[in-house]
A and B are shown apart, each in its own frame.
Chain A
Amino acid sequence: MNQILAKEQLSKDVYRMRIRAPLIAEERKPGQFVILQMDTDFGERIPLTIANADEKEGSITIVFQVVGRSTWVLAQMEEGESIANLVGPLGRPTHIEKVGTVVCVGGGIGVAPTYPIAQAMKQAGNKLIVIIGARTKELVIMEEDMRAIADELFICTDDGSYGRKDLVTAPLKEVCERQEKPDLAVAIGPPMMMKFCALTTQLYNVPTVVSLNSIMIDGTGMCGGCRVSVGGQTKFVCVDGPEFDGHQVDYDLLIQRLGAFREQEKIAADGCRMHEEAMEKGLKE
């Protein structure tokens, strides 16, 4: 169960893994996520969006960035090893339908969860525009996967090291200003990026869906730790989402709540870094 079939480093801290999970592969739909745990007794439960699935092989693909202790441990695992716990698919699937033109914006690691949605939108007969954004060239991921399905592809980097030197909102604005503006926008990435994408599309009345990745424990509605405010109402990302109307989400609250355990996370991350440095030192000696 949960065996790592393939592992690939996409950029400095970003990895892609194919994991054996036949039931999840069979049931999952675009927009859904899984929860992983590295140790049954003491591990934490972390939500990750499903980036792809192969029903025949019985596998799912996840893409993750090393940001804390659990993702650090996950990144140390190799092909053939098994992840202690994996549950899913969770969350409501994306509503897929033919609306005309869909623009999908993926920022940083957010490109991974955008991919299955873009793929499904394309299959449903939509014209597909994809915008990929990253801080720098190294961090651009899944360009080839997206290029293979997109009718039009924009790539932006903050430092101009690859593609346009722009924020994703610049091409998004251009696309919205076209005579045939998009019928739907999907934006997934850092909360700040989603916030500004939503502000951009709002000016042009383009309906916008965002996918939120909040702090969670169970992922089935039981803890309420993932709550966000949407249109002034409290919603649970795990059972009401993870996708919401991008024009209604309170992003500042989301950012606040994502930082709930920043101090503890920093201590844990420092621990990992020290461990890593000690290991490197040990190797040299």
Chain B
Amino acid sequence: MSWQNPDELKEAARLEWERLEGLAQPLKPRDRMALPAQEMPTQEPLARARNMREVATGYFADQARVEAQRCLQCKNAPCVNGCPVSIRIPDFIAELVKGDPAAAIRIIKQTSLLPAVCGRVCPQETQCQQPCTLGKALKSVEKAVAIGRLERYAADWEREHNAMQSPVVAPATGRKVAVVGSGPAGITVAADVRRAGHEVVLFEAFHKAGGVLVYGIPEFRLPKAIVQTELDALKQMGVEIRTNFVVGRTRKLADLLEKDGFDAVFVGTGAGLPKFMNIEGENLVGVYSANEYLTRSNLMKAYNSDKAFTPIHSPERVAVLGGGNVAMDAARTALRLGAKNVHLIYRRTEVEMPARVEEVRHAKEEGVQFHLLQNARRILGEKGRVTAVECLRYELGEPDASGRRRPVEVAGSEFQIPIDAVIIAIGNESNPLIKQTTPGLETDKWGHILTDENGRTSLPKVFAGGDIVLGAATVILAMGEGRKAAAAINALLSQP
């Protein structure tokens, strides 16, 4: 689909809403099905590829109401089953139809803590929108009700209208909980545990809280001011945030329990250890892990080269290896840092790409060049710096363990792409720091902490959740895990 002018989207929605108001309410399912799916307004692709501002600018009010009218209000609500935290989706959408975003956000916040974040970064097409009856009836998941965009609309409305309400905190219990890692899982646990009246200290290794929401996901996809609003809300609830504190190094996990008086610890340290491909040339200057590249740009603000002390290379030709959301973020960041040619190299086809459809579309619109069924075999350099990447062509063979068709090398198909930088975005492994420094904490062979369904680890009073348990996953799954662990912590601490 080609880019649509936001002004036109706004005007079309206005006319559509006028027409709808003339119809008998509630609308008949057939009328709802005929309503035009509302496109997300975005900055013009070539302009946005050179700035850091948010790409998707959010629904206009009329768009939100028209889109909300598309919801069939199914009795069995399959969308709710698709949501990892079971947001009461038809209910909040019904409030949007009435033009009451305040009521909508109240419903969302009963189950989700970070709707402004999740509305932006959740893979709705594989979660709530995937089983949507409307999408099924129209034979395309892309035509499902845009639940994520509506969630974002309600959350943005609340923030922009200063209508955010600090959750009620129960009277102090005298119990104290340490939350290690301030990403999505940690933020969720901190909020839920604090609400029960326990003292909460949220520990962060970096100088800024927010975890992957701050160092990983770029500004143009998730403005940092939004994350800050969520962190400010935590502080308002009385959560203490301690940055520059590496649990395992600054203090051992066991010492938090034994010396510092914490009654429970939640570990949500994420999947922060970049995987490399173990190919020739990987340590040349100009080869980055996506983590390093994105952290330099996002957390350290290297994109603001006038002010930031942290350097980053801004070469003309960049290769990104991988096909996930992180690869898209890296490729699009490279464009914004001034690259003329960004080559995204992925060894399967677009169908198998783990990245969200929307991210892939945005990347293409902005000019990222996709090289599918190709993979880097080695990285070539001169005087220690990258000059080219040598690739091999692949074709799809039989399905592998993941159910995706296995890519098979085409012998003798080597070719080179001249480039000045390579960003490796093939995933993350679990960070070993806590494991190395916490005897008795059981992990699987990949270093993921083993837990029961309530986040309990092998150590008493120690809970875990998010990517350190799941492996690299999504914000909403981390949040879902966090909620369960928080409930278990609250149950443990309510015992006399």
Binding site for B on A (CB under 8 A): 23-24, 27, 37-45, 69-70, 84-90, 217-225, 227-229, 234, 239, 253, 256-257, 259-261, 264-265, 268
Contact = CB atoms under 8 A, between A and B. Distances in A.
Contacts of B431: 220-222
- Most chain B CB within 10 A, of A84, A85, A88, A222, is at A222
Interface string B263-296: 0000000001110101000111110110110011
A256 B284 CA distance: 8
B250 A88 contact: yes
B285 A260 contact: yes
A39 B208 CA distance: 11
Given A43-B309, A88-B250, A225 B288 contact: yes
A239 B433 contact: yes
Contacts of B313: 261
B311 A261 contact: yes
Interface string B288-331: 11011001100011001001111101000000000000000000
B246 A87 contact: yes
B249 A90 contact: yes
A42 B300 CA distance: 6
B225 to A, nearest CB: 13
A222 B246 contact: no
Given A42-B301, A87-B246, A253-B283, A222 B291 contact: yes
Contacts of A87: 205, 207, 244-246, 250
A23 B251 contact: yes
B269 to A, nearest CB: 9
Contacts of A265: 311
Given A85-B244, A234-B282, A260-B285, A220 B272 contact: yes
Contacts of B262: none
**Chain B interface extent, by class:** 35 or more
Contact of A234 (B208, B276, B284, B432): B276
Contacts of A260: 285-286
B6 to A, nearest CB: 31
A108 B436 CA distance: 33
Interface string B214-227: 01000000000000
B206 interface: yes
Nearest to B311: A264
Nearest to B243: A85
A40 B207 contact: yes
Interface of B: 205-208, 215, 243-246, 249-251, 272-274, 276, 278, 282-286, 288-289, 291-292, 295-296, 300-301, 304, 307-311, 313, 384, 431-433, 436
A34 to B, nearest CB: 10
Contact of A257 (B215, B245, B250, B285): B285
Given A41-B301, A85-B207, A218-B295, A27 B251 contact: yes
A216 to B, nearest CB: 10
20 contacts: A27-B251, A42-B309, A43-B310, A44-B311, A45-B207, A69-B309, A87-B244, A88-B246, A217-B295, A217-B310, A218-B206, A220-B205, A225-B292, A228-B283, A234-B276, A234-B282, A239-B433, A256-B384, A260-B286, A261-B313
Contacts of A259: 285, 384
Nearest to B271: A222
A24 B246 CA distance: 10
A24 B250 contact: yes
Contacts of B432: 221, 239
Nearest to A264: B311
Contacts of B246: 87-88, 90, 219-220
A224 B288 CA distance: 8
A257 B286 CA distance: 9
A229 B283 CA distance: 8
B282 A44 contact: no
Contacts of A228: 283
Given A27-B250, A88-B249, A239-B432, A217 B285 contact: no
- Most chain B CB within 10 A, of A84, A86, A228, A239, is at A239
By Cβ-Cβ distance, the 6 closest A-B pairs, closest first, are A264-B311, A256-B384, A223-B292, A44-B309, A222-B272, A87-B244
A115 to B, nearest CB: 21
A55 B140 CA distance: 65
Contacts of B309: 38-39, 42-44, 69-70, 268
A224 B433 contact: no
